[in-house]
Each structure stands twice: as C-alpha cells, then as structure tokens.
C-alpha cells in the first residue's frame, strides 16, 4: 500500500526588529554582498545549507525561536544594522561623472538580453560561463550605477543538477523551481493584474508572464510561459529548461526571449537607447524592433539601419556548436508572417541569417551581426578568431580591419573573492571596492607580509579541502561505496595540515577544453602525483551537456582513473559543479589548470576568478591568458597553431604541461625557507592577484563597453531615431545606391610611381578612379604606408587620405596626395578606395573596398 506524505511549512512571524531581512532576501545584492549572506548563515547554518543558500526560502523555514533570540542578541543586531546601513547606502549612490559623459542616467537605458543569468546558486537560471558572465556584467553595471536592465527567461527547471553514479555516468536531474521561493515577483499590468505579453507562434499566440528581480540598483526582467492560459500544453513547457529540448524548443525560446523581451520592456513603459545582444540567442529582438518601426510606416531597410545603430552584439564562442542555426523550413514556418509584416519577401528575411558555413540555414550570429553596428568578441585572441569566422559579413575588408572588435571579459571580484581576502582588504586597503579601475592601486598587494599571505592561502585551502571532503563523502556514500573505500579516496583531502599542492580543473566538460589532456602520459603523471617528497592532488568538477556524448565520456574516463590504484585519492572527481562549488575551488586550490585546444577558448573566466584569489594559473596561451600572462604571474603552455595532427598536438602539449608541473610548479611550491613557506610561491601568487584584479574585473569590462560601445550606440540611436528616422533613411538609401554601383568601381595609377625619392622630397600620387555613378563624396581613397612588405597590421600602418583633385577627360575622378614619408629607408605603400558616409558607425561597415 502506498501512503501519502503531506508537506507543511511552519513559517515564522518575523520580529519587527528584523523585518528588513525581507528587503535583504529580495534583492539579489545578496549574491555579491557576503555580509548579507553572512547574516542568514549566522542565524542557522545547517538550515542555510539545507535551503541551498537561498535567503527567501530560509526566511520561510527558520524557526521562530532563532529569530526571537537573534532580535535580542546585541552582536547580531549590530551586524544586522551595519549590513542594512551599507545596503541602504549602496542603493542610494549615484553614478560618477565618467559614466554620465557616455550615458545620461535620466534619459538613457541599456537593455541587456541574455538566455542565462548566473547571479547565485539560489537562482538556477544559468548553465556555465556565459550565464555567470551575464550575472557579473549586471552586478558591475549596478556597482557603476548604470541605467541598465537585464532581460532573460525564468526557467521552471533551469539547467540540470548533476550527480555522477558509481559507474562514472553523469545523471541529470531536473527539479521544478517554486518561483515563490526566488527573489523575483511578477510585474503588474495597468489593469492591476499580473502583466502578460504575447508572442505569435505558428497558428497560435503564447502568453508570457513577466517577472522582475532587483539586483542591487538594477532590474532584471524574466519571462516565463508556464501559464494555464496557454492553449497548448507544449507551450507551457517552452521555458522549462535552459538549453533543453530540440531545435523546435530552442527557436520558440528564442522568440520568447527576443520578441517577448522587447514587448515586455514596452509594456513596462521602458525605452532603451542601447540594446545589447549577449550571444546570438536573443537576436530576434532586432526583428521585433524593426517590425515596430515598419508598423509606424518606415521602410524595412530604414528600420534595420535605425535599429542596428543602437545595438551592441557580443559573440562568445568560436566553437560552431555554440552558434544557433535553424533550418530554412523551420524559419519559414515561424517567420513567414513576420516577413510579411516587415514588408519584405521571405528570401530577403532569410538573407539576414545567411552564413557561408551552412548555406541556406539561418544563423543567429549572422542575424545579430547584421542587426547591430557594434560587435565584439571576448578576448584579444577571440576577437581575432571571431573576425575571421564572421568575415563573410564584410567580404572585401581585411580581417584585421573588419568591425568586429573585442572586450576582454572580466569577473565580478566581490562575488568570487574569498571572504577572508575581503576581510583582510577591508582592514588594510579600506577603499578597495572603489579601486576596481585603478591598476596602480593594486600594487598594495605586495605590501601584505609574506607570512600572513601564505598562511591565509593555506587556511583557504584547508577550508576548501574540508568542503571537498564533505561533498566527496556524500557523493560516494550515496553511490554505496564502503566506508573503507571512502576513507581511501578522501585520505589526502582530509589531511588537516593541508600541505599538499592542489591543482584544480573545473569547467564544462566540452571536448575542446581537453580535461583528459593531463592523462596523455600516465606514467609521468603517476610519478608526479605520488612523489613522496612533493606530492600533488588533482580535483576535477564539471558538467557535460546531456546530449554531449563525448563530454560524458570524459567524465567516465576521469572517474575510472580516480579509482585506479595508482591514482586513488590523488585524482578526485566531484559532482554538481555550480557557482557554490566554483567559489570553493577558485578560492582554495593552489594551481588553476586550463588546457583548451587553441584557439577555441573564447575567454575562460574561471582562471580570472582563481587569479584574483592568488591562485596561480597554469594555462594554454588562449583566451584571456593570452593577455593576462606576463611571465611572472603564472605558467604558460604555448599552443600549436591550428592545423597540426590533433594526436601529435595533444601529445606535445601534454608533455609541456607535465614538464612545467614537475620542473617549475612543484619545485617552487615545495621550496620551503626557514620560515616554513615558499617565498617564490608567495611572489608568484601575489603577482597573480595584483595583475588579475585590476585588469580582469567586471567593472573594467563594463567600462570598456560603456566607452567603446554603449556610448557610441547611444549616440547613433539618437541620431537615427530623430526626425522620423531621417538619417537612418538617408544612410539606408545611400548604402543601397553604393551596393548597386560598387562592382563597377576601379582605380588606376596616374603618376610614374618612382621607386626612390630624396630625403625632404614628397611623392606626388595621382589615382584615377572610376566611381560608376558614385560621387567623390561617397568614397575615401587612401594610401597606407608600412615598413613590412606584406604587413596587415592596421596598427603598424600610417593612413593618408587622397583628395579629389579634378575630373579627367573621360569623366573619371582624379584623386591626389603629396605623400611626405615620415620614415627613412625602404617602405611600402598601398592604395585603396572604399565607400564612406559620415553617418556610418564604422568606416568599413558596408564591407566594400577595392585595392589598386
Ligand atoms: C566561471 C564559471 C564557468 C566558466 O568557466 P570557464 O573558465 O569559462 O570554463 C563555468 N561554470 C561555473 C559554475 C563558473 O563559475
């Protein structure tokens, strides 16, 4: 017989003195303000853990007695009042002048769209790097008082929770979230009821509820389709899972996010002046904004020009599977009506998503690029790789000069900095939170006494190992391992003196990240980890996407090795990688290992999280490490250029990795002086912290966006939206005219092109250009001078414009320049012509250029 278990939650009456705990629990500021979380932790630590660090849930379950005692506890109340006053002060701050010169807090608004947001483990709407980056972006936007809102989806089941069974198989668990336990509330409509926005899917309309979350000073709007009003059962599940379902679900989600997101902002009366598409998933917002303008009577091309001018797009991965591609038939089913509403034929609509890689299919990255004028990758290397990948959008522009730029990602330091470092900084460096943009300030890290620094790192490691041991024990007990076996597996993490080098590797188990690279030479690894004089321990964690078979095979492989008699206890594989486990590892290990296949790691933000905590990076020179590594602050594996046999490449890079470990890392760590610690290690660790904090924090990243992207996009938006879209219309018409004529444009040199001149003389250059109906004002003719014969580095070239001198007898235009070389000796120059218009956001946005 089955019996039913009913559940009952006995909720406390919050004492009036503690009433504002509600305010603290309902603002996601708790996700980056450790003092706020500390209050809940102090009240009832086991309950805090049991509630998954969720303050709102905690407040529903905490006992009356605990609250009443706390209300009478002087020390607690002092802490509470101090925290509240810091909270109130934070919320009242206003932006500094350096923001106000780019964005007007009263009139401007940045709307940041992303499919996932990782604020904290208690709001499970993220899967990995992209989401956490988006959360960090929002947190820094709040810190900097930007006029800013986030737009995303509220997933009922979020991303999966991971366990790993005793066969090393990943098991994905989906838990429906009770939204009333989250720090979100439904937005209300004008009629006083919950707000709904509608999006059209084939043959029906889907309603979306709009939730609002307060995150410090900014708001996040999240959409969900799980409503009884939705006619088809399937529609309720559109927003169930992050990256779940097939492409049909994916396109529906992206319609909800992109189109629903715009409609939600409109329904809330918000008027963004800058629109940020953070990864292609939300690019349909461009389509919706065009539709709005077309409905007001504008031509589609004008609308697209106007929309693109106010839009920023960030692409996040060079891995093809990371880019959404929808088949033509599916696009037709979902967007035939939209094309009609836009006043264009389907072919023209589908051309917005055209990409050479998969002809005929619709690529969301391509749509985002065509619908934005400000685009970037997320590190210097990735910016270059993305420029190459997407070069087809600007077919005649040299790779190095096309408009795809980069902003290197940064992490939100208060979120990922260990509490102990925060406390030490509070004591010694007082204003450190306001010094995120000041590189010089962080020299002070060197002033922390070495012994103090070392012991703090060691105690963080001990704390981390305790956390790891507890997790491992739970995991292996559930898997039915014997007590003796569990003891063997955890014997090194339980060593209380905590003096063993610990290497961490935690990230998604995607194949390009090559988690098993270190196992390429097993004998060498075995010796290295088991050296009695200088032992080391490897900790792995990470999820593989449920449909990623090779990724799951990696988990299995690590699992097997972790039980191998040679490695047992020395290689640990932990399940359930989330933000909490990430914080534990990046604050506590000694070395953070990253060995992706170059150049596929767009950024690799976990290494930054480690770096700010004084953990030392050992990484392939890819992603952020290509800029971050300075020879002193960690170790680098120089990757092979793409094109080598993968087997050979992995073999060599693994050898490099193991050699660095045995020749550099381990000797340095165990080089103990009289005081019992390694001064060389402390020096490197301090260098890691000192160089990572100011250069790779999220405020620096957001300021880069403000200066280089949001400010200019705001200006373009204002220019194009003014006077009934006059400037956008002119630009759109000019572009159409240029494209019509361009194929017939050519140039011819008119002067003698002497091979040498004397110092002090100038070189008169004359070029005849056939403009095929365009006028000289429509083009720029340019001379580029460089010392390298086949140089293509735009930074290393001097550019001189030729001026229109006269009309030749045949009707063509002659352009001339008296070139006065600045350089002595042998040099090279080239001549080119490209269309130019003052309203362009980028000189080469039309993608056309002809060389002589
Ligand atoms: C930072 C972080 C990531 C991203 O790490 P990468 O270095 O980009 O692989 C993924 N998951 C979690 C939980 C993180 O905290």
Pick the atom of ligand 1 nearest to 581's CA: 13
- For ligand 1, whether the C-beta of 579 sits within 6 Å is yes
User: Is residue 349 situated within a structural domain?
Assistant: yes
- For ligand 1, whether the C-beta of 516 sits within 6 Å is no
CB contact at 8 A, 417 and 611: no
For residue 605, how far is its CA from the centre of ligand 1 (angstroms)? 6
- For ligand 1, whether the C-beta of 132 sits within 6 Å is yes
- For ligand 1, whether the C-beta of 409 sits within 6 Å is no
The whole-number average pLDDT for the span 139-146 is 96
- For ligand 1, whether the C-beta of 135 sits within 6 Å is no
Helix ranges restricted to H, 101-144: 129-143
Cβ contacts of 426 within 8 Å, gap of 6 or more: 432
For residue 611, how far is its CA from the centre of ligand 1 (angstroms)? 13
Distance CA 8, CA 10 (A): 6
User: Is residue 736 situated within a structural domain?
Assistant: no
- Return the closest-CA partner of residue 143 out of 281, 242, 31: 31
CB contact at 8 A, 781 and 745: no
Q: Is the domain of 354 the same as that of 424?
A: no
Residue 96: which pLDDT band, with cuts at 50, 70 and 90? Answer: confident
Q: Are strands 311-314 and 374-377 parallel, antiparallel or unpaired?
A: parallel
Final residue in a domain of this structure, among 69, 92, 115: 92
pLDDT for residue 359: 83
For residue 507, how far is its CA from the centre of ligand 1 (angstroms)? 5
User: Is residue 314 situated within a structural domain?
Assistant: yes
Q: Is the domain of 498 the same as that of 646?
A: yes
What tens digit of pLDDT does each residue of 281-327 get? Answer: 999 999 999 999 999 999 999 999 999 999 999 999 998 888 999 99
- For ligand 1, whether the C-beta of 614 sits within 6 Å is no
| Nearest CA owner, ligand 1 atom 11 | 128
Q: Which residue has the tokens 């006494």?
A: 449
| Nearest CA owner, ligand 1 atom 6 | 604
> Of residues 823 and 120, which shows the higher confidence score?
120
Residue 846: which pLDDT band, with cuts at 50, 70 and 90? Answer: very high
- For ligand 1, whether the C-beta of 582 sits within 6 Å is yes
- For ligand 1, whether the C-beta of 606 sits within 6 Å is yes
* Cα atoms in the 13 Å half-sphere on the side-chain side of 227: 20
pLDDT for residue 824: 86
In the chain, % of residues over pLDDT 70: 100
What tens digit of pLDDT does each residue of 670-685 get? Answer: 999 999 999 999 999 9
CATH number at residue 286: 3.40.50.2000
Residue 133 has pLDDT above 80, yes or no: yes
- For ligand 1, whether the C-beta of 542 sits within 6 Å is no
Residue 507 has pLDDT above 60, yes or no: yes
CB contact at 8 A, 97 and 103: no
- Return the closest-CA partner of residue 612 out of 679, 691, 530, 545: 691
Q: Is the domain of 403 the same as that of 424?
A: no
- For ligand 1, whether the C-beta of 127 sits within 6 Å is no
Is residue 97 classed as helix, strand or coil in its secondary structure?
helix
Whether the bond between 599 and the residue before it is cis, its omega within 30 degrees of 0, is yes
What tens digit of pLDDT does each residue of 199-255 get? Answer: 999 999 999 999 999 999 999 999 999 999 997 778 999 999 999 889 999 999 999
The count of domains in the chain is 4
For residue 598, how far is its CA from the centre of ligand 1 (angstroms)? 18
Q: Which residue has the tokens 């685009």?
A: 375
Q: Is the domain of 765 the same as that of 692?
A: no
Pick the atom of ligand 1 nearest to 513's CA: 9
User: Is residue 241 situated within a structural domain?
Assistant: yes
The whole-number average pLDDT for the span 45-74 is 97
What tens digit of pLDDT does each residue of 318-353 get? Answer: 988 889 999 999 999 999 999 999 999 999 999 999
For residue 639, give the DSSP letter.
Answer: P
Q: Is the domain of 553 the same as that of 629?
A: yes
| Nearest CA owner, ligand 1 atom 4 | 129
For residue 609, how far is its CA from the centre of ligand 1 (angstroms)? 9
User: Is residue 122 situated within a structural domain?
Assistant: yes
pLDDT for residue 67: 98
Residue 558 has pLDDT above 90, yes or no: yes
The kind and range of the H/E element at 687 are: helix 679-695
pLDDT for residue 841: 98
CB contact at 8 A, 375 and 312: yes
Pick the atom of ligand 1 nearest to 583's CA: 15
pLDDT for residue 792: 74
Q: Which domain holds residue 691?
A: 413-696
- For ligand 1, whether the C-beta of 578 sits within 6 Å is yes
Angle between helix 726-742 and 300-309 (nearest 10): 110
The whole-number average pLDDT for the span 716-736 is 98
Residue 277: which pLDDT band, with cuts at 50, 70 and 90? Answer: very high
Q: Which residue has the tokens 């012509």?
A: 833
- For ligand 1, whether the C-beta of 610 sits within 6 Å is no
Helix ranges restricted to H, 315-449: 328-342, 346-351, 364-370, 380-389, 413-416, 419-428
Q: How many helices (H) and strands (E) does the chain have?
A: 32, 27
User: Is residue 580 situated within a structural domain?
Assistant: yes
Angle between helix 300-309 and 284-295 (nearest 10): 130
User: Is residue 777 situated within a structural domain?
Assistant: yes
User: Is residue 3 situated within a structural domain?
Assistant: no
What tens digit of pLDDT does each residue of 608-633 get? Answer: 999 999 999 999 999 999 999 999 99
Q: Is the domain of 417 the same as that of 406?
A: no
Which residue among 317, 507, 601 is best mutated to probe the pocket of ligand 1, counting the most ligand atoms within 8 A of its Cβ? Answer: 507
Residue 786, beta-bridge partner list: 828
Residue 653 has pLDDT above 90, yes or no: yes
Angle between helix 711-721 and 726-742 (nearest 10): 100
For residue 747, how far is its CA from the centre of ligand 1 (angstroms)? 51
Q: Is 406 left (phi over 0), alpha (psi -120 to 50) or beta?
A: beta
Q: Is the domain of 461 the same as that of 378?
A: no
- For ligand 1, whether the C-beta of 604 sits within 6 Å is yes
Distance CA 339, CA 199 (A): 15
Pick the atom of ligand 1 nearest to 416's CA: 15
- For ligand 1, whether the C-beta of 551 sits within 6 Å is no
Final residue in a domain of this structure, among 75, 92, 109: 92
| pTM confidence score | 0.97
Q: Is the domain of 462 the same as that of 397?
A: no
Q: Is the domain of 456 the same as that of 554?
A: yes
Is residue 615 classed as helix, strand or coil in its secondary structure?
coil
Q: Is the domain of 492 the same as that of 605?
A: yes
pLDDT for residue 496: 57
CATH number at residue 768: 2.60.40
CB contact at 8 A, 422 and 428: no
Q: Which two tokens stand for residue 345?
A: 């034929």
Residue 497: which pLDDT band, with cuts at 50, 70 and 90? Answer: low
Q: What is the DSSP string of 516-578?
A: GGGGTTHHHHHHHHH-SSS-EEEEEE----TT-HHHHHHHHHHHHHHHSTTTTTTEEEES--S
Q: Is the domain of 710 the same as that of 778?
A: no
For residue 671, give the DSSP letter.
Answer: -
Q: Is the domain of 155 the same as that of 195?
A: yes
Cα dist from 657 to 218, 512, 515, 518, 636, whole Å: 43, 16, 12, 7, 9
Cα dist from 634 to 123, 722, 737, whole Å: 33, 51, 54
What tens digit of pLDDT does each residue of 751-805 get? Answer: 999 999 999 899 999 999 999 999 999 999 999 998 888 777 878 889 999 999 9
């Amino acid at each position: 017989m089955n019996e039913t278990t009913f559940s009952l939650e006995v909720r406390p009456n919050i004492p009036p003195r503690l009433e504002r705990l509600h305010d603290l629990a309902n603002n996601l500021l708790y996700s980056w303000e450790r003092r706020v979380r500390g209050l809940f932790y102090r009240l009832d630590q086991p309950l805090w853990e049991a509630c998954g660090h969720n303050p709102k849930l905690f407040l529903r379950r905490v006992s009356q007695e605990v609250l009443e005692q706390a209300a009478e506890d002087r020390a607690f109340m002092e802490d509470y009042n101090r925290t509240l006053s810091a909270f109130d002060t934070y919320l009242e701050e206003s932006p500094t002048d350096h923001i106000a010169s780019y964005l007007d807090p009263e009139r401007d608004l940045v709307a940041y769209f992303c499919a996932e947001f990782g604020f904290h483990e208690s709001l499970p709407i993220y899967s990995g790097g992209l989401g956490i980056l988006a959360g960090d972006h929002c947190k820094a936007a709040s810190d900097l008082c930007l006029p800013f809102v986030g737009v995303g989806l509220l997933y009922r089941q979020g991303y999966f929770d991971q366990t790993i069974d005793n066969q090393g198989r990943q098991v994905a668990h989906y838990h429906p979230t009770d939204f009333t336990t989250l720090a979100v509330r439904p937005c209300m409509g004008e009629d006083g009821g919950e707000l709904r926005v509608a999006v059209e899917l084939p043959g029906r309309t889907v309603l979306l509820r709009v939730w609002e979350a307060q995150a410090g000073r900014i708001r996040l709007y999240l959409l969900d389709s799980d409503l009884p009003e939705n006619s088809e059962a399937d529609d309720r599940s559109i927003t169930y899972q992050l990256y779940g379902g097939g492409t049909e679900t994916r396109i529906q989600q992206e319609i909800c996010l992109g189109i629903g997101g715009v409609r939600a902002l409109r329904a809330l009366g918000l008027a963004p002046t800058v629109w940020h598409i953070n990864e292609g998933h939300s690019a349909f917002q461009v389509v919706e904004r065009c539709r709005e303008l077309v409905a007001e009577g504008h031509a589609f091309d004008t609308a697209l020009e106007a929309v693109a001018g106010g839009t920023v797009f960030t692409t996040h991965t060079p891995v093809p599977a990371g880019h959404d591609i929808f088949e033509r038939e599916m696009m037709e089913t979902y967007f035939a009506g939209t094309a009609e509403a836009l006043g264009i034929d389907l072919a023209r609509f589908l051309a917005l998503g055209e990409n050479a890689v998969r002809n005929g299919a619709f690529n969301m990255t391509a749509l985002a690029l065509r619908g934005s004028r400000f685009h970037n990758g997320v590190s210097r290397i990735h910016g270059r790789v993305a420029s190459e990948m997407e070069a087809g959008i600007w077919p005649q522009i040299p790779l190095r000069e096309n408009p795809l730029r980069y902003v290197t990602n940064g992490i939100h330091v208060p979120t990922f900095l260990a509490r102990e470092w925060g406390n030490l900084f509070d004591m010694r460096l007082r204003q450190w939170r306001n010094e995120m943009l000041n590189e010089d300030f962080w020299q002070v890290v060197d002033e922390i006494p070495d012994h103090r620094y070392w012991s703090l790192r060691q105690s963080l490691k001990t704390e981390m190992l305790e956390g790891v041991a507890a997790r491992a024990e739970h995991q292996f007990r559930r898997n039915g391992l014997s007590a003796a076996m569990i003891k063997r597996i955890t014997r090194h993490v339980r060593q209380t003196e905590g003096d063993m080098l610990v290497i961490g590797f935690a990230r998604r188990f995607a194949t390009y990240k090559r988690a098993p690279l270190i196992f390429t030479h097993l004998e060498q690894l075995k010796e290295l980890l088991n050296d009695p004089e200088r032992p080391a321990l490897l900790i792995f964690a990470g999820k593989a996407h449920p449909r990623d078979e090779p990724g799951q095979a990696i988990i299995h492989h690590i699992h097997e090795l972790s039980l191998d008699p040679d490695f047992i206890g020395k290689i640990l594989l932990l399940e359930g990688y989330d933000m909490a486990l990430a914080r534990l590892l990046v604050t506590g290990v000694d070395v953070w290992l990253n060995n992706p296949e170059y150049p596929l790691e767009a950024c690799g933000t976990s290494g930054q999280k480690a770096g700010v905590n004084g953990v030392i990076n050992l990484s392939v020179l890819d992603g952020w490490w290509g800029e971050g590594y300075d020879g002193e602050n960690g170790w680098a594996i120089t990757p092979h250029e793409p094109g080598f046999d993968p087997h050979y490449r992995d073999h060599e890079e693994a050898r490099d990795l193991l050699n660095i470990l045995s020749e550099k890392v381990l000797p340095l760590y165990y080089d103990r002086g009289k005081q019992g610690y390694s001064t060389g290690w402390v020096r490197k660790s301090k260098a890691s912290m000192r160089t990572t904090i100011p250069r790779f924090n999220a405020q620096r990243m957001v300021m880069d966006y403000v200066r280089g992207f949001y400010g200019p996009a705001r200006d373009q938006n204002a220019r194009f939206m003014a006077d009934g879209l006059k400037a956008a219309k002119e630009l759109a018409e000019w572009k159409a005219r240029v494209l019509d004529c361009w194929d017939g444009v050519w140039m011819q040199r008119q002067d003698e092109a002497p091979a040498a001149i004397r110092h002090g003389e100038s070189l008169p250059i004359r070029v005849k250009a056939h403009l095929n109906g365009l006028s000289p004002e429509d083009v720029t003719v340019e001379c580029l001078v460089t010392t390298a014969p086949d140089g293509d580095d735009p930074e290393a070239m001097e550019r001189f414009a030729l001026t229109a001198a006269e009309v030749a007898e045949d009707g063509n235009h002659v352009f001339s320049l008296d070139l006065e070389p600045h350089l002595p000796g042998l040099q090279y120059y080239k001549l080119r012509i490209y269309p130019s218009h003052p309203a362009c956001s980028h000189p080469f946005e039309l993608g056309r250029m002809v060389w002589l």
